[in-house]
Amino acid sequence: MNIEKCYFGEAFGKAVDKYTLTVDSGMSVSIITLGGAVNKLLVPDREGKLADVVGGYDDLADYVEGDGYQGAIIGRFGNRIAKGTFTLDGVDYKLFINNGPNHLHGGRLGFSHKVWDAEAGIEEDGCTLTLRYTSPDGEEGYPGTLKVTVTYKLSQDNALSIKYHAVTDKKTVLNLTNHTYFNLGGFASGKIFDHELWIDADSFLETDETLIPTGKKISVEGTAFDFRTPKTIGRDFDLSYEPLRIAGGYDHCMNFTKRAEPMSEARARVYEQRSGRVMEVWTDQPCVQFYSGNFLNNPDHDFKGGYKQGLQNMFCLETQKMPDSVNRPDFTDCTLDVGETYETITVYKFLTK
């Protein structure tokens, strides 16, 4: 096992470093301190050959200006908040509007655009990178000074875990996630339609044209969203089906059939047949945003090695609470009070078959 650190550039007047954590199988993860973004993830295939399976940029400026939140920690609130407003204990809060009429992924300069303090360490069974950021009261419109710690761990059994921890000094709302884009054949290998996907979710959230949940939970039964039996992402990818038309593909909150809390089994699994790579998602969170990369056609920002991504070339499985839950008492609770500790974990485990 080993850890390397190098300078990656400068953003917002601060030096940004890149840490590479490597375990004995050869698997490694590179994380930059801007946004705590996973920049590279080398994973063995069934022959032991490594490929980089995540999206990202070579150039720091692309992380600052590019969209898509490649690999980044998302906060304070994953996904959209309708019209960027909510009321907490009778007080109205106004957030930055950065996605049509709505607030998305923490706003103009959310956690994806902060330079985090970093500390690396080697443990008996893996390497860690601990990232810390204190978000001031009122940042992007959110109440409370929030102290956040995110710990990445790459373990000897080829699992990348992400632990989130936060405390606040005033009642607030919080929904942290990670926005890594995957293509298990390698990030530059084209469409994801052949990936076989299993998600143990029995319903998904209907959205309006601005991708805000309407409040309706739809049963996956008999729909393109039924991944309870593994099927390829492409099989039912039909944009004439209304929910897929609205979003340009899959971009929906899938509600797990059961909570695995404490984490006892995988909630989602992806298999790429040519390489044999399998990725399992283990989490204590109630939902996952399955996003099939429907906006990945930004010609101004080349991906690593100059690669141009196209629509549905990578997917995200963002474990989270329900989008816009700040405005819907019947959705998952997303408040964090003084004296409480926000603690969640998600693990992406890699295997082959």
Question: Which range in 37-45, 185-193, 277-285, 289-297 contacts ligand BGC by CB under 6 A?
Answer: 289-297
Interface with ligand BGC: number of residues (CB under 6 A)? 9
d(CA 186, CA 116): 28
Residue 89 phi, psi (nearest 5): 50, 45
Q: Is 179 a catalytic residue?
A: yes
Tell me whether residue 156 or residue 332 sits nearer to ligand BGC (CB atom): 332
Q: Does 211 bind ligand BGC (CB under 6 A)?
A: yes
Known catalytic membership, residue 140: no
Give yes or no for a contact between 252 and 289, defined as CB atoms under 8 angstroms apart.
Answer: yes
Distance between CA atoms of residues 149 and 172, nearest Å: 17
Residues 156-175 that bind ligand BGC (CB under 6 A): none
Q: By CB under 6 A, which span of 152-160, 236-244, 288-296, 298-306 interacts with ligand BGC?
A: 288-296
Instruction: Find the binding residues for ligand BGC in span 315-334 (CB under 6 A).
Output: 318
Residue whose CB is less far from ligand BGC, 8 or 315: 315
Nearer to ligand BGC, 12 or 295 (CB): 295
Contact, 247 vs 316, CB < 8 A? no
320, 67, 189, 196 alpha-carbon torsion, rounded to 10°: 20
CB of 253 to ligand BGC, least distance (A): 8
| Cβ-contact 344, 271 below 8 angstroms | no
- The reply to whether 295 sits near ligand BGC by the rule CB under 6 A is yes
Among 8, 19, 63, 69, binds ligand BGC (CB under 6 A): 69
Binding site for ligand BGC (CB under 6 A): 68-69, 79, 211, 251, 289, 291, 295, 318
Tell me which residues are annotated as active site.
179, 318
